[in-house]
Amino acid sequence: MLRKLLTGIAVLFVAVWGALLLWPEGAYAPHQPSDEYRARAADYLARNLTPMPENWQWDSFEATDGKLMRWGRARPEGDIRATVIFVPGYTGTLEMYADYHHEMLSRGYEVYGFDLRGQGGSARMLENPEKPWVADFGIYSDDVAGFTKMVRTQTAGPLLLIGESFGGHVVLRAAGDHELPIDGLLLAVPAMRIQTPPLSYGAARFIVEASRKLGFGKDYALMQKNWQPYVTDLSQPNYCGDNIDRIHIKDTLYTARPELRVGGTTNQFISEMMESGERISKPGYLQRLDMPVLLVTGDTDSIVQAEASKKACAAHIPDCDLLELENSGHCTISEPDATRAAMFDGVDALLARAEAALQ
Radius of gyration of the chain (CA): 20
Neighbours of 159 (CB within 10 A): 22
* pLDDT tens per residue, range 57-107: 999 999 999 999 999 999 999 999 999 999 999 999 999 999 999 999 999
Give rounded-to-5 percent helix, strand, coil for the chain: 45, 15, 40
**Distance of CA 146 to CAs 69, 108, 180, 196, Å?**
11, 25, 9, 32
**Distance of CA 206 to CAs 202, 217, 222, 234, Å?**
6, 13, 12, 37
Cβ density class 323-354: b for 16+ within 10 Å, e for less: bebeebbbbbbbbeeebbebbbebbeebbebb
CA torsion sign, 89 to 90 to 93 to 96? Answer: negative
Give the H/E segment covering residue 320.
strand 320-325
Q: Which phi and psi (to 5°) does residue 294 adopt?
A: -115, 125
* pLDDT tens per residue, range 289-336: 999 999 999 999 999 999 999 999 999 999 999 999 999 999 999 999
Give percent of the chain above pLDDT 70.
Answer: 93
Q: How confident is the model at residue 10 (pLDDT cuts 50, 70, 90)?
A: very low
* pLDDT tens per residue, range 102-141: 999 999 999 999 999 999 999 999 999 999 999 999 999 9
Q: Averaged over 50-59, what is the pLDDT? A: 98
- Beta strands (DSSP E) in 147-306 are 159-164, 184-188, 293-298
**Domain positions in the chain:** 51-195+267-358
Q: How confident is the model at residue 25 (pLDDT cuts 50, 70, 90)?
A: confident
Cβ density class 255-294: b for 16+ within 10 Å, e for less: beeeebbbbbbbbbbbbbbbebbeebbeeebbeebebbbb
Which residue type occupies 66? Answer: G
Q: How confident is the model at residue 247 (pLDDT cuts 50, 70, 90)?
A: very high
Whether 269 and 357 have beta carbons less than 8 Å apart is answered as: no
CA-closest candidate to residue 225, choices 19, 18, 12, 28: 28
pLDDT surpasses 90 at 11: no
d(CA 12, CA 220): 20
Give percent of the chain above pLDDT 90.
Answer: 91
pLDDT surpasses 50 at 15: no
* pLDDT tens per residue, range 171-184: 999 999 999 999 99
Instruction: Give the model's pLDDT for residue 21.
Output: 55
Instruction: Give the model's pLDDT for residue 12.
Output: 42
CATH class, range 51-195+267-358 = alpha beta
Instruction: Give the model's pLDDT for residue 18.
Output: 54
pLDDT surpasses 50 at 282: yes
Q: How confident is the model at residue 6 (pLDDT cuts 50, 70, 90)?
A: very low
d(CA 350, CA 26): 48
